[in-house]
């Protein structure tokens, strides 16, 4: 009897013991700081006395009623969406080309696509600001053709260009993974039924990659909406996005509760958008693709 | 009317079931409906298909039969246009289609994996080819309905492929290929993914559909039973070349060489010597006193005598042409498969199950056959 119990016990404990370290790690590094941030967002701040440990909704009211914050949220949403749409438009065909490549080229180009991730964001973004700057490569090229220079740096365009560049691998890789698994004769079947190559891609190949596109766009949207270095360096002091706004509140205004409030609002908004999007697409794709 | 829109100029044979007299053959009146002339495909210096010549008549059901790697699938892919021939010509309905891209050939193709569009329902799958031909919605719905009832799938029009069984997916693939009224239906190992019982059922179903529609069909298969039972003619291929083109019956009864005879059905080979005797041949089977004459001129010298297991009969010991000892016997339901060791080698005998079980292992039996059932093939038998 007791032997039987002692035989069962370690078995029962095993899952707990195995998942324990990760759970602790997750609690310590994600949940706890998040909880502290939530608590902080309900505290009030006084410029002379500092953070007060009281409970107030004042921060939320301030943020949600202030035109400046709202416009920044709106810009964040807009640019993140735009980045996602552009990465889908570029990344999906790119993944298709990649999946059709032969042996040595596929690995080489996969490396080229992942390449941006191997360079520090800051270095890469400075690279972009040199290209897009007043005397940068783009404007010199325009001057040679005889066109007037354009203001690119410190515009939303610059932010989107920078974001798309770094986000592409996050779109290409999940889509490529899905395309790899597809039966190539399905595309051949579309061709024999009279579809042009383009129609076969649009109506047969890409719809099957829907789940890959979904996960790719979720990653891209989330990372874009919370990106910091790119809007910071390519958007300049004037064009704020959510993350740079939080940074300002914490380190320049020193108003930590307000910064925490903005961070929480962005987090919640991001979650809501992503969950809704996921629901919408996944339900359809699940029914069709199983 | 809609048909006329979708019918490209220069393809007079788009509508099936029409009188053959309507087919313009561009001055080559002796031509068949589908002609492959000296078609070859080289991968580097290796010939996957070599000098493939075949003339297919309208409405015929042709099987390309051979072991894997014999070039049968490559041949089919050259007809579909998915693989480009290295040399040779393919002519369909008087039109040279050798270098036409697949969408313009308008053939119906059923792939081994069925290749259904997984994100579309059955009806949408079938509809795809019609949409590509810009067929109007009402006409489309009508034709989808017709074809689905032909393949007995009317009730499942709104299912997705993953919700269906293998046999049902197979039917969808056939419906999708047929709905565009292709001049030729091409089937690539259509039944190989089905389990044995379903395979047999679908085999006859395939023949029924083919005969109902009257469509010229070319099927690739490595299953000789499948090829024999439903084709009008069978093309046997070995190492990229055609070895024999014949009706299933002729192929089975008069295989041209020992590769065909052993690939198509089961067979026994006996080493023998053949000599011309002025009229036919005198055959003597090695290691035995058996001698007989044939009426036909046979190859001289070392030959193999080929005889089908079902042409052999077990007799009482001491009777028959040769004596042997039963080594194994397998019960197959409708028949027994008995192996008997004889001086001429081990012979397989198919004994119909007529109620009385054949002798047990180790018992002595006599074997009898009619000399007319023996085929004499050039070259010594391998076994």
Convert the pLDDT of each residue in B240-249 to its tens digit.
999 999 999 9
Homologous superfamily assigned to A66-289: MetI-like (1.10.3720.10)
> Could you tell me the pTM of the whole model?
0.76
d(CA B130, CA B182): 11
Chain A touched by B44 (CB under 8 Å): no
Mutation target vs B (from A184, A186, A193, A286; most B CBs, 10 A cutoff):
A193
Mutation target vs B (from A182, A184, A189; most B CBs, 10 A cutoff):
A189
The domain defined by B2-107+182-253 folds into Rossmann fold (3.40.50)
Convert the pLDDT of each residue in B36-82 to its tens digit.
999 999 998 889 999 999 999 999 999 999 998 899 999 999 999 99
**What rounded mean pLDDT belongs to chain A?**
88
User: From edge to edge, which strands make up the β-sheet containing B87-92?
Assistant: B46-56, B34-43, B87-92, B95-96
| B227 CA to centre of own chain | 3
Convert the pLDDT of each residue in B284-312 to its tens digit.
888 787 888 887 777 888 888 889 999 99
Query: Looking at beta carbons, which pairs linking B150-155 to residues 24 or more positions away fall under 8 Å?
Result: B150/B175, B150/B178, B150/B209, B150/B212, B150/B213, B151/B175, B151/B209, B153/B122
- Closest alpha carbon to A151 in A135, A171, A134, A138: A134
Q: Tell me whether strands B345-352 and B291-294 are parallel, antiparallel or unpaired.
A: unpaired
Chain A hits for B81, Cβ within 8 Å: 192
Give me the helix-helix angle, A67-99 and A103-118, nearest 10°: 160
Nearest chain B CA: its distance from A199 CA (Å): 9
**What is chain B's pLDDT, residue by residue, as a tens digit (383 residues)?**
334 434 344 343 333 333 333 344 444 445 789 999 999 999 988 899 999 999 999 999 999 999 988 999 999 999 999 999 999 999 999 899 999 998 889 899 999 999 999 999 999 999 999 999 999 999 999 999 999 999 999 999 999 999 999 889 999 999 999 999 999 999 999 988 888 888 888 889 999 999 999 999 999 999 888 999 999 999 999 999 999 999 999 999 888 887 888 888 888 888 888 888 878 888 888 878 788 888 777 788 888 888 999 999 999 988 888 899 999 999 988 999 999 998 888 999 999 999 888 888 999 999 999 988 888 888 766 54
With vertex at residue A263, the alpha carbon angle to CA A257 and CA A264, rounded to the nearest 5 degrees, is 90
Q: In chain B, what are the domain boundaries?
A: 2-107+182-253, 266-378
Total CB pairs under 8 A between chain A and B:
72
The pLDDT-based confidence of A29 (bands split at 50, 70, 90) is very high
Calculate what percentage of chain A has a pLDDT beyond 90.
49
Nearest chain B CA: its distance from A288 CA (Å): 5
Return the CA Rg of chain B: 25
CATH code reported for the domain at B266-378:
2.40.50.140
Nearest chain A CA: its distance from B266 CA (Å): 34
């Amino acid at each position: 009897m007791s032997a039987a119990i002692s035989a069962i016990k370690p078995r029962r404990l095993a899952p707990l013991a195995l998942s324990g370290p990760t759970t602790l790690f997750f609690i310590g590094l994600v949940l706890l700081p998040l909880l502290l941030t939530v608590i902080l967002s309900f505290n009030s701040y006084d410029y002379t006395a500092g953070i007060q440990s009281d409970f107030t909704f004042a921060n939320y009211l301030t943020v949600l009623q202030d035109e400046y914050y709202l416009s920044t949220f709106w810009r964040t949403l807009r640019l993140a969406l735009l980045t996602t749409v552009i990465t889908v438009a570029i990344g999906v065909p790119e993944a298709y080309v990649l999946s059709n490549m032969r042996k040595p080229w596929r690995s080489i180009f996969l490396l080229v696509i992942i390449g941006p991730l191997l360079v520090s964001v800051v270095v890469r973004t400075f690279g972009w600001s040199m290209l897009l700057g007043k005397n940068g490569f783009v404007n010199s090229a325009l001057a040679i053709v005889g066109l007037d220079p354009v203001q690119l740096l410190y515009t939303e365009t610059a932010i989107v260009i920078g974001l798309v560049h770094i986000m592409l691998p996050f779109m290409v890789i999940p889509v490529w993974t899905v395309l790899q698994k597809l039966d190539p004769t399905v595309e051949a079947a579309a061709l024999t039924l009279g579809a042009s190559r383009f129609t076969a891609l649009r109506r047969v190949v890409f719809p099957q990659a829907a789940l890959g596109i979904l996960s790719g766009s979720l990653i891209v949207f989330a990372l874009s909406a919370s990106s910091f270095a790119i809007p910071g360096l390519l958007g300049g002091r004037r064009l704020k996005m959510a993350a740079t706004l939080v940074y300002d509140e914490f380190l320049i205004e020193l108003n930590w509760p307000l910064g925490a409030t903005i961070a929480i609002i962005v987090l919640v908004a991001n979650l809501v958008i992503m969950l809704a999007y996921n629901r919408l697409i996944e339900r359809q794709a699940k029914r069709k693709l199983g | 009317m809609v048909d006329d829109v979708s019918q490209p100029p220069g393809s007079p044979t788009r509508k099936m079931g029409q009188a053959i007299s309507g087919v313009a053959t561009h001055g080559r009146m002796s031509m068949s409906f589908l002609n492959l002339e000296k078609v070859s495909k080289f991968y580097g210096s290796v010939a996957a298909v070599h000098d493939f010549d075949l003339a297919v008549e309208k409405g015929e059901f042709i099987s390309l039969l051979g072991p894997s790697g014999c070039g049968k699938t490559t041949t089919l892919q050259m007809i579909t246009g998915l693989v480009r021939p290295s040399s040779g010509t393919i002519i369909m309905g008087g039109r040279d289609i050798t270098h036409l891209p697949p969408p313009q050939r308008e053939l119906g193709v059923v792939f081994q994996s069925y290749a259904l569009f997984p994100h579309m329902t059955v009806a949408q799958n079938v509809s795809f080819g019609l949409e590509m031909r810009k067929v109007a919605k009402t006409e489309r719905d009508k034709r989808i309905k017709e074809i689905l009832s032909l393949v007995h799938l009317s009730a499942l029009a709104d299912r997705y492929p993953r919700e269906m069984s293998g046999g049902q997916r197979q039917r969808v693939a056939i419906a999708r290929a047929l709905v565009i009224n292709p001049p030729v239906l091409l089937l690539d190992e259509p039944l190989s993914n089905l389990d044995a019982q379903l395979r047999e059922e679908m085999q006859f179903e395939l023949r029924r559909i083919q005969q109902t529609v009257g469509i010229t069909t070319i099927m690739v298969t490595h299953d000789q039973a499948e090829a024999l039972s439903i084709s009008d003619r069978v093309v046997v291929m070995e190492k990229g070349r055609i070895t024999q083109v014949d009706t299933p019956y002729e192929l089975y009864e008069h295989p041209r060489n020992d590769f065909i005879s052993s690939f198509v059905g089961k067979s026994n080979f006996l080493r023998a010597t053949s000599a011309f005797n002025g009229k036919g041949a005198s055959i003597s089977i090695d290691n035995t006193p058996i001698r007989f004459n044939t009426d036909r001129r046979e190859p001289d010298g070392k030959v193999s005598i080929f005889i089908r297991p079902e042409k052999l009969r077990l007799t009482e010991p001491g009777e028959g042409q040769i004596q042997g000892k039963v080594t194994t016997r397998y019960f197959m339901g409708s028949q027994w498969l008995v192996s008997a060791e004889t001086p001429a080698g081990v012979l397989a005998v198919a004994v119909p199950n007529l109620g009385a079980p054949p002798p047990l292992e180790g018992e002595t039996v006599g074997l009898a056959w009619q000399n007319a059932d023996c085929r004499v093939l050039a070259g010594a038998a391998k076994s």
